Amino acid sequence: MTSMQNYLEDQLQLALEPDYFEVVNESSQHSGPATESHFKIIVVSSNFDEMKLIDRHRFINKLFSDELKHIHALAMHTYTPKEWEKRKAAPDSPECSSKS
């Protein structure tokens, strides 16, 4: 069985053919027993060139509509290649306030 992280990576690659992407499993930074419940994705794709930020996020939400029934949190950082060239990094995720 493939992990959720690998599945998310495979689907992003197929759907967007990104210039760069990362899928980070941040579940260990949060409370609770789930090991695949919190993810951060960073995606750089020319497919985003004509999309507003909200439309990029809607695209990702639609792509993972079934998976989001099982994932508690999905942080999305979506960039065009031009935006990424200026930035070169996504923001760090905030600390979980309920982590024990």
Question: What's the CA gap between 41 and 60, in Å, rounded?
Answer: 10
Sign of CA dihedral 10, 13, 16, 22: positive
Q: Quickly name the fold that domain 4-87 has.
A: GMP Synthetase; Chain A, domain 3 (3.30.300)
Q: What pairing do the DSSP bridges indicate for beta strands 38-44 and 20-25?
A: antiparallel
Sequence ranges of the domains in the chain: 4-87
| Residue 74, strand partner residues | 39
What per-residue confidence (pLDDT) applies to 28?
76
Residue with more model confidence, 3 or 37? 3
Lowest mean pLDDT among 13-17, 65-69, 73-77, 87-91: 87-91
What are the tens digits of pLDDT across the range 14-67?
999 999 999 999 887 756 665 778 899 999 999 999 999 999 999 999 999 999
Residue 85 confidence class, pLDDT cut points 50, 70, 90: very high
SS3 44: strand
For the segment 67-80, the average pLDDT, to the nearest whole number, is 92
State residue 27's pLDDT score. 81
